[in-house]
Structure 1
Amino acid sequence: MEGAGSVAENLVLGLDAGSTHVAAALAEAPEGGEPRVIGVGLVPSAGVYRGLISDLSAAARAMRKAAEAACAMAGRPQVNRAVISISGAHLRSEVGAAAVAVPRPAAGVTPELVRRVLDAAAEAVEPSAGRERVHVIPRSYQLDGSVPLRDPMGLCGRTLAAEVQVVTGDALHVQNHLRAASQAGFEVADYLVAVRAAGEAVLTPEEREEGVLLLDIGGGTTGVAVYELGHLFHLAVLPVGGDHITHDLATVLRIPVETAERLKRERGWAAPRLAGDGTVTLPTPSGLNTYEVSEKYVAEIIGSRVEEILQMAAAAVKRSGYAGLFPAGLVLTGGGSRLRGLAGYAGDCLSLKSRIGTPADSLAAEPELAAAAGLALWGVRAAPAAAEGGEPSEPATDAAEARPARAGRLRDWLKALFH
């Protein structure tokens, strides 16, 4: 049960309108082959603030520009059917559960019975006024109170129970994303929460099966997703991302936002202990002179926000009730994951092996393209299921020197949340 229907063609455009960039990916499913990305486009964002549409016309223009770039790279005419991303901290994730009797226990569980129990579990979560269901995702099944099952089809039993992850969002914010895409000239075939789309592109089947934590760090938000037994166990969107780091640098160092963004990308580190002993030359507020700060001080500013993101992500996992240990570790993606040293530092804080996740297709092998690639691949995989009436398978200052003790406490706190 997904957002807005399915894609009926083998050429699909994925559109991810983020706060920093608007990304597009064009995917196709060759006859008898695996879906692949054949074109990408990445343009500066406009009309999007913290994952929400703030200027309809500007967002529509950016979407169209990114799509044109992707189609031009692929050498294909403009594709007007798209799968788009939904983001923003308005998104919420709840668990619905239900059980139904198996009419003929010895005959086994049928597709119709699975649909019935999933519908009943979804109905157990009633969105509050002004909200709507964005995703209903099967989480686990049980037969007669047995261990959690990934797929109950054909198994014998008397009672089939199911848990589903119900993601809801503010209906007006969802509508604004759809209207922006429509104004850009696209027919929206489907939509996915951005972090779920990123997971489609960067996670391996083995990681999803074993248990993995995915952080999709965008400009204005960070998506958190927990996978286990091949299913999405929990999803959350945090109201903080890479742009907050940039604005922290601009505010503390009293430099233009553009200078702060360049400083973050070229000289920034995720934690003070990772930075070198060098200095950075910056303009004074008047722009008439320059002054120097240590790289460690820059990392001190960045590290404070990184700590906040990790703390919020860990708390979101804790609230989800997930009791696993993430055997497959931590995967970071999105433009914010490019911050130097972030993967190793985050993994150290959480006592998890970690890596940067990028789409497997060489054309889209950049973390900021993860969600767009996942959207396009989702649409291509959905096409056969749609035709059959089904669904797709699823730093050198005193403050800096004092940081190690605080960082140690942070690691202890985060580890306590998970263990």
Structure 2
Amino acid sequence: MKDSPIIVGLDIGTTKITTVIGEVSDNGTVDIIGEGSVPSEGMKRGAVVNLERATHAIRQSVAAAERVSGVRVGSVYVTVAGNHAKAITSHGLAAIRRNQEINAGDVDRAIENARAVPLDPNLEIIHTLPQEYVVDGQEGIKSPVGMHGVRLEVDVHIVAGTAGPLLNLRRCVQEAGLRVEGFVLHSLASGLATLEAAEQAQTVIVVDMGGGTTDVGVFKRGNLAHSASIPIGGEHVTADLAQILKIPMEEAEDVKRRYGAALPELADQDVTLEITTASGSTHAITAFELSRIIKPRLSEIFSLIRDEIDHTLGPVELVAQGIVLTGGAAQLRGTPDLARDRFRLPVRVGQPRGIGGLTDIVSGPAHAASVGLVLYGIGEDGKVPASVFTEAPQPAAPVPPAVPVPDAAAGTGVAPVVVSPPPPAPAPKKDGVSLVDRLRNMFKDWM
């Protein structure tokens, strides 16, 4: 951990930029003390397309978090979307002198040998993530230090980003007056924040459904073993609605969030919307018909994820024991049900765990990556006292109020006939496992 107990995560997405400020409190818990979310500008599919506008949005997000926390931000951890990141798994070997114990230097040699693979000069290594070690043919070893053997092997998952997009991200952050403490793969941050203790012993697929991309991380016994990115996200669902209903993107996003569902059978059968197009014409559409527009695009996303995993690792049903959905697009009603149908595996929506402070603000799946950045920053150097990682109590999620009925005359262009309030959000689960186990499992071999 750095000298300061303050760690800041900056999640720069296609539709939203979020800053989360975390603090290691005196009583040993990780408290979220600041949060600032603003609409994203100058970004497309996780890459900078307008430096000035992206920098302006970053400043706004950080300033909002600073106002809440009363803390001045100097450095940040920044997410990197997988669409301009490349990942390979490389094998490393180190010989050990006979009758000598394996030490940290031997482990470093094995990892460095794994890193010595030819990479495109246009790539910059972001992560070097050791998987399990093998000592003299014995597999499944998490930490070989202190063991005896003559041959140490390790498979390392190397994540590298394209230099151009990384330089543009770094420049935007620096122009906003901040220092980049480190880049973190989006799916890695999301998995770190949401994986439960029982999932540390399994193979779990984390699917982060963002606005412009869907990032995928396959975690095997707590280690990121495979990563990929699908260039489609929730914004594409919104674009489908805007195109078919002939309404602006802002109104289409509002309609999707209020009345949409991933499965038509889960849509409110009593809701009919009156849509006013840009030309002034009016037509009606039911929530059931609305969801029939939404389902194909989400099905496409899940099918592409399945194809990626099937092709790279094997049939998804044999590779993984479960799916964890995170990201803003995962909040759409029925999305876990559709994913369950497509993957034929248990599916749950992942929420940030093991934190205190502003949990009512950052407890949803949309904040998984930004909270994960804070946890990454805490655990990166492996020197945090164990008391820091005591699981913070998880408050029950409040019951949301009834959805207000928009006024068509107010210019929204959408007038519902009947509105049913959404069901209350489930309270986060408790498993009684300290956060130290999760962070230590992920970081003790990484650095």
* Structures share fold, TM-score greater than 0.5: yes
Q: Match of 1:417? A: none
Q: Match of 1:182? A: 174
Note if 1:329 corresponds to 2:322: yes
Q: Match of 2:74? A: 80
Could you tell me the TM-score, scaled by structure 2's length?
0.81
Q: Match of 1:191? A: 183
Q: Counterparts of 1:326 and 1:9 in 2: how far apart (Å)?
A: 41
Note if 1:154 corresponds to 2:146: yes
**TM superposition shift of 1:57:** 1.7
Residue 369 of structure 2, aligned match among 360, 368, 371 = 371
After superposition, residues 377-388 of structure 1 pair within 5 angstroms as 377-382=375-380, 385=383
Task: State the number of aligned residues.
Answer: 383
Q: Match of 1:224? A: 216
Q: Counterparts of 2:202 and 2:163 in 1: how far apart (Å)?
A: 34
1:206 is aligned with what amino acid?
A
Output one character per residue of 1:94-148: Cα deviation in whole Å (capped at 9) or x when no partner. 11112221123x3332111111101111213x22142222211112211122223
**TM superposition shift of 1:38:** 1.8
Q: Match of 2:39? A: 44
**TM superposition shift of 1:326:** 6.1
Note if 1:255 corresponds to 2:242: no
Note if 1:127 corresponds to 2:119: yes
Q: Which shifted more, 208-217 or 322-331?
A: 322-331
Unpaired runs of at least 5, structure 1: 1-5, 395-419
Q: Counterparts of 2:299 and 2:105 in 1: how far apart (Å)?
A: 47
Partner of 2:148, secondary structure, is coil
Partner of 1:89, secondary structure, is helix
Partner of 1:248, secondary structure, is helix
Q: Match of 1:403? A: none
Q: Counterparts of 1:180 and 1:355 in 2: how far apart (Å)?
A: 35
What value does the CA root-mean-square deviation take over the aligned residues?
Answer: 2.2
Note if 1:358 corresponds to 2:351: yes
Cα contact 1:24–1:369 (8 A) shared by 2? no
**Structure with greater helix percent:** 1
Cα contact 2:208–2:326 (8 A) shared by 1? yes
Describe the shift of the 1:282–1:302 C-alpha distance in structure 2 as closer, same or farther (beyond 3 A): same
Q: Counterparts of 1:9 and 1:381 in 2: how far apart (Å)?
A: 14
Describe the shift of the 1:160–1:32 C-alpha distance in structure 2 as closer, same or farther (beyond 3 A): farther
Note if 1:16 corresponds to 2:11: yes
Q: Match of 1:279? A: 272
Cα contact 2:82–2:228 (8 A) shared by 1? no
Q: Percent identity?
A: 31
**TM superposition shift of 1:235:** 0.9
Q: Counterparts of 1:332 and 1:253 in 2: how far apart (Å)?
A: 28
Unpaired runs of at least 5, structure 2: 386-439
Q: Match of 2:332? A: 339
**TM superposition shift of 1:158:** 1.8
Q: Which shifted more, 201-210 or 162-171?
A: 201-210
**TM superposition shift of 1:29:** 1.4
Q: Counterparts of 1:331 and 1:203 in 2: how far apart (Å)?
A: 8
Cα contact 1:89–1:221 (8 A) shared by 2? yes
Q: Counterparts of 2:190 and 2:32 in 1: how far apart (Å)?
A: 14
After superposition, residues 78-117 of structure 1 pair within 5 angstroms as 78-104=72-98, 106-117=99-110
**TM superposition shift of 1:322:** 5.7
Q: Counterparts of 2:311 and 2:145 in 1: how far apart (Å)?
A: 31
Could you tell me the TM-score, scaled by structure 1's length?
0.86
Q: Match of 1:291? A: 283
Cα contact 1:23–1:372 (8 A) shared by 2? yes
